Homo-oligomer: A and B are copies of this chain.
Amino acid sequence: MIVGTEWLIEAAGCEPEALRDEAAMREVFARVIGDLGLKTIDKGVWHKFPGEGGVTGLVALTESHLACHTYPEYAAATFNLYCCRTRPEWDWEGSLKEILGAKSVSVRKIERGTGEEETGRRGEKEIAVAS
């Protein structure tokens, strides 16, 4: 039984300053939520780790949840988008290049609710690596 779809996104080669900027991360969330017509349950949890640390964001959606963690020390960010209803694909690559200066973005798509079926990995074309 498949109860939802989860996208796992990894962004590398990002601008460390953007990864320390809660506003930049909120902007990513706002675009995902707006473009896909998702509904937030509340304001979510945002946390900026002190000093050179990164940002954690978690937002509950009526469709499930959206999460991010950033690692300025590695120029990396990860996102999870979990939806219990079918949604169109979102342009993670273009958006994360624009907002975070990401050099490469990969997207994995996993069906939830069953551990027996294979992970649904997106095609090579969609596991985009840009230089």
Contacts and interface: CB of A to CB of B under 8 A. Distances in A.
Given A41-B47, A60-B47, A76 B6 contact: no
A10 B76 contact: no
Interface in A67-122: 67, 69, 71, 74, 76, 78, 80, 82, 84, 104-108, 110, 112-116, 119, 121
Copies of chain A in the complex:
2
A38 interface: no
A70 to B, nearest CB: 9
Given A3-B76, A67-B65, A82-B69, A107 B113 contact: no
A72 B56 CA distance: 30
B113 A108 contact: no
A116 B12 CA distance: 11
Given A3-B74, A56-B60, A58-B60, A106 B116 contact: yes
Nearest 10 Cβ contacts at the A-B interface: A106-B115, A10-B115, A45-B60, A3-B71, A78-B112, A58-B58, A1-B74, A41-B47, A58-B60, A76-B113
